[in-house]
A and B are shown apart, each in its own frame.
Chain A
């Protein structure tokens, strides 16, 4: 194919988009509507996922060290803990630090505990974080059997429930996103298909005048691409603006809580890229699938 023929195809596809006014409008709005849906849903899912991650990251295992343990015993226990493959970090917290933290967390009433400074009943503690939050239970169980371990605490019972809930909601989210994605694909490609079926006579005529399949296909390929890209512009703009506003509004209200909203950059740029790519691919796919049917004249 010659370069000027590529230029011809590009001109032809743009012309066709203009001359098939209403059909173009139908296809582009189908893309727009579904991509807005997909985009909004994606924003919600990604942020919920972020919240879940923050919650999970707060989960830690507190390994209470036996009071009888010497410095050497503590060091070897630390080495033992670090040797567990799932473990990300082990931090030492002395019983004095533990008491301080306790006093602080109790506020005014915590002052009563100050008396214990002379005779601290608490243990030294190793704070263990796992690489994957889901491994917390497994690691905790293993640690319980180590020597010089007095107690292992990680919010038993509550953490299991929390993880169960987070995992379930993640799965539901994935199913919903997939469902929405397929709906989008079918809705958009069907609309584009209808616009091309309306032109099957044209395709037949082109064949009769001596156009090869490749020659016929190219303008449709480019047209599908353009329809998809045009259709994704509005969703990208709308979601970007809405996210920017929502982020500004929510950010101050959520400081201090464990909920965290994904920052505008790079999240919105990634989302925009994703929507653009989806629009383009679905546009191309829809138009190629429908043209293929009419090329056998």
Chain B
């Protein structure tokens, strides 16, 4: 499903963010990526949805080596994965409905199907009653739900989340986590970078810890393992 082999990443400014990572994530897994700030966690996640390209090594997702993906093929690749961001990344001029529908419009789906599917996922995240609102009219938690709805509307096999609860209060974070659990229970692979100790230690899943650009720990049903 997701496989990294001998991955290195050095930024043009000389910083070596990733120093040799080999990892394999199987279909249906739920994986936390943890580690101190600046350890390379974010780069690790960004390489998975091809915002960053590794300096060397291969990253295979759904059978495609995205380290060698042509610029013009990047959007096509991204349609098969869902991405959720810390800052939601919703289109401010589109309503809740339009934001979610956008991911289906890019693949030129049938309008009837778009309508049905968008309402389905918005129902799943509990925002069916707010489809005509703009992101600025929603709370952080609600915005993140929209973002999650958008990430799964394409029925991707992998959802990648970069600190999805980073901007949310604890209570809202738990509601968001419930959604990810639900998505994972339906068979979707979830890879999530997080700083939330409580969540990692309560909702037990595989934990990959990254320090200095290397994997220092990889345990099933692991602990967060840092004090903060």
Please list the residues of chain A having a beta carbon within 8 angstroms of any beta carbon in chain B. Answer: 1-2, 4-5, 8, 15-16, 19-20, 199, 202, 205-213, 215, 296-297
B93 touches A212 (CB 8 A): no
User: Which chain B residues border A209 with CB–CB below 8 Å?
Assistant: 78, 83, 102-103, 106, 150
A202 touches B51 (CB 8 A): no
Known A-B contacts A2-B108, A8-B105; the reply to A210 vs B75 at CB < 8 A is: yes
Q: List the B residue with the shortest CB-CB distance to A8.
A: B105
User: Which chain A residues border B93 with CB–CB below 8 Å?
Assistant: 15-16, 19-20, 199, 202
Contact of B49 among A20, A208, A215 (CB under 8 A): A208
A57 to B83 Cα, complex, angstroms: 74
B203, CB-defined interface residue at 8 Å: no
Please list the residues of chain B having a beta carbon within 8 angstroms of any beta carbon in chain A. Answer: 49, 51, 71-72, 74-76, 78-79, 83, 89-93, 102-103, 105-108, 111, 150, 154
A125 to B4 Cα, complex, angstroms: 99
A208 touches B72 (CB 8 A): no
A116 to B165 Cα, complex, angstroms: 112
Closest chain-A Cβ to B144's Cβ sits at a distance in Å of: 14
A208 touches B107 (CB 8 A): no
B89 touches A212 (CB 8 A): no
B108 touches A205 (CB 8 A): no
A120 to B150 Cα, complex, angstroms: 101
User: Which chain A residues border B72 with CB–CB below 8 Å?
Assistant: 212-213
B106 touches A211 (CB 8 A): yes
User: Which chain A residues border B105 with CB–CB below 8 Å?
Assistant: 5, 8
A2 to B71 Cα, complex, angstroms: 23
Return the 8 tightest CB-CB contacts between A and B, nearest first: A210-B79, A210-B78, A211-B106, A212-B75, A19-B93, A205-B89, A210-B75, A209-B103
Known pairs A202-B91, A209-B103 / 20 extra A-B pairs, C-beta < 8 Å: A2-B108, A4-B111, A15-B93, A19-B93, A199-B93, A202-B92, A205-B89, A205-B91, A208-B89, A209-B102, A209-B106, A210-B78, A210-B103, A210-B106, A211-B106, A212-B76, A213-B75, A215-B106, A296-B71, A297-B51
A208 touches B76 (CB 8 A): no
Closest chain-B Cβ to A112's Cβ sits at a distance in Å of: 86
User: Which chain B residues border A297 with CB–CB below 8 Å?
Assistant: 51
Cβ contacts A to B, 15 pairs, < 8 Å: A1-B108, A8-B105, A199-B93, A205-B89, A205-B91, A208-B78, A209-B78, A210-B75, A210-B106, A210-B154, A211-B75, A211-B106, A212-B75, A212-B106, A296-B71
